[in-house]
Chain A
């Protein structure tokens, strides 16, 4: 059963290794779980889960395995039975037992096992499932006079805590704040020594001093700096409005001074045609040709946008009916030029991946490697950008 839990965790992408599992086994041997499910929940979580982002998956796996909603429901009934008997002993007074005419304990248990097998989720309220605060015969804090009370009184039981799924908000696919983006962007680097001699090179100093017959000869070298240069293109307006705050955070983190050797950002609407803009109001254009001319091919191009537009806006020459910059080149071609110029580029899309089957998204994906604008997607994008960095 514990092994089931192990594989359930792995199936839910909690990266638990055998190393950690052996530690858990040792902890169980030492009795650190205090022979209770609650203790086991705390213990297993402390040893197995190392990131807040995985707490939710852990809770879900814990529920799945220990509530017996997976296929092998009966294999856990030994535990539940023992638990059940104990609960009945403790929670029901003789008066309450006398009230229990409607169902005999055996009938009740049989029904309980049946319900348990059918039940898929935690349940609060209601009159059928095992849960809390309802009138079903099973669960806690309910109103059924002959019901089975599950778990111990006082404090929250492990099942309840797992059932609350209180850490859902911390999943990695959830909100990105500036700091998280910061962390992800820290990996976007290529360290090298450039600039003025500011740092004391100790080894070299010792070496030279020794050669100099003990007369101090100080040697300095330039400090290590990030050599990555970044061009950030941001789609603004229209369908991007709901994502403005998120893009703003990305911009805040990326533009932090000293992060990159060179950082430039431009705006566009829907798709790039002929020019990108230095301001979000699209008033001061920089022609694409100038942008390409002023950037080294080793600079990293990051485009942020939902790539959602009318196919004509992307594919037809002069498709940009919203502006006066209609040209004979289609938006896709402009995008292609950008994609061809930079050796490494990435497109960050704030829309969920399940929406990426639209024509325009598909076409642009063929030009730029596309990643979702989530913590996970951002990390993958950064990884892609620095891999094989030159």
Chain B
């Protein structure tokens, strides 16, 4: 095995499949961003926390919104504050640096130590957003126009990008990433995952829960299939309320934690 490789193997509170671990390690070894896709609720965002924990690195989170611009991630020149200060004479207006606020990507690149940078739900932003980040993610450096400063990352951060969507990111962007699609966990893997969250759950009860859960997922024409996080919530609700699953005849208690639309609930009741 190569030196410095295979550093990620999941953490006690995050169960990763072998091919996911492999993908993370490839990204670490090649120092390329890892792009993770998968159904909502399959733990894409939690993966970043888990990597940070496993490698004991600090994590910087960048939650992308529909209005997020690439520039926001690097830095913003707080002109309004500066204008305000110039008018009321608070602080030294001539020092531009005071008004340069680094964004998440800017902080990750200017950090003295290696960090994990999570760019969460990149598909939420404008379609051109990923293209605007190409250079910075590739070269791991950026230029602050206002001060003429060039910020270069001393240690390339481990960049993890999550996306819910298909077919949206530009090719030039994709070319630079390592890609992994998180498949819905198999029953065996799911058993391990639930164990992590509910370590003292009885084996028999877990079997029943999984039975109901996978049965529900196979219901045809569901709009939103329940996911891992919903299963964990559901089990938590069952335990909190002390409902005994095998004694409940017919309907599923707390159906609302598993199925989130009226249509799906109606479909199931039928």
Chain A interface residues toward B at CB < 8 A: 15, 17, 19-20, 23, 26-27, 30-32, 34, 39, 42-43, 45-47, 49-53, 55, 155, 170, 172, 179-180, 183-184, 186-187, 202, 205-206, 209, 214-216, 375
Contact = CB atoms under 8 A, between A and B. Distances in A.
B94 interface: no
Contact of B30 (A27, A45, A206): A27
B37 to A, nearest CB: 7
24 contacts: A20-B175, A27-B26, A30-B29, A31-B1, A32-B5, A34-B1, A42-B22, A45-B179, A46-B22, A47-B30, A49-B179, A51-B174, A52-B166, A53-B166, A155-B18, A172-B167, A180-B167, A183-B165, A183-B168, A202-B79, A209-B83, A216-B83, A216-B87, A375-B166
Interface in B111-130: 123, 127
Contact of A186 (B26, B35, B127, B169): B127
A23 B32 contact: yes
A50 B175 contact: yes
B167 A46 contact: no
Closest 4 CB pairs of A and B: A50-B174, A42-B22, A46-B23, A31-B2
A56 to B, nearest CB: 12
Nearest to A209: B83
Given A51-B166, A52-B181, A205-B83, 13 more contacts: A20-B175, A26-B30, A31-B5, A32-B2, A42-B19, A43-B22, A43-B26, A46-B180, A50-B177, A170-B166, A183-B166, A209-B83, A216-B83
Chain A binding surface SS class: helix
Given A31-B5, A46-B180, A52-B181, A215 B165 contact: no
Contacts of A39: 22
A375 to B, nearest CB: 6
A179 B165 contact: yes
Number of chain B interface residues as a range: 35 or more
A30 B19 CA distance: 18
Contacts of B86: 214
Nearest to A184: B167
Contacts of B35: 50
B42 interface: no
Interface of B: 1-2, 5, 18-19, 22-23, 25-27, 29-30, 32, 35, 37, 79-80, 83, 86-87, 123, 127, 165-169, 171, 174-181
Contacts of A32: 2, 5, 25-26, 29-30
B167 A51 contact: yes
A186 B174 CA distance: 19
Contacts of A51: 166-167, 174, 179
Contacts of B27: 46
Given A31-B5, A180-B167, A47 B83 contact: no
B174 A27 contact: no
A17 B179 CA distance: 15
Nearest to B173: A50
A43 B178 CA distance: 9
Contacts of B30: 23, 26-27, 30, 32, 47
A384 to B, nearest CB: 18
Contacts of A183: 123, 165-168
Contacts of B171: 15, 50
A50 B127 contact: no
A30 to B, nearest CB: 5
Contacts of A15: 171
A206 B22 contact: no
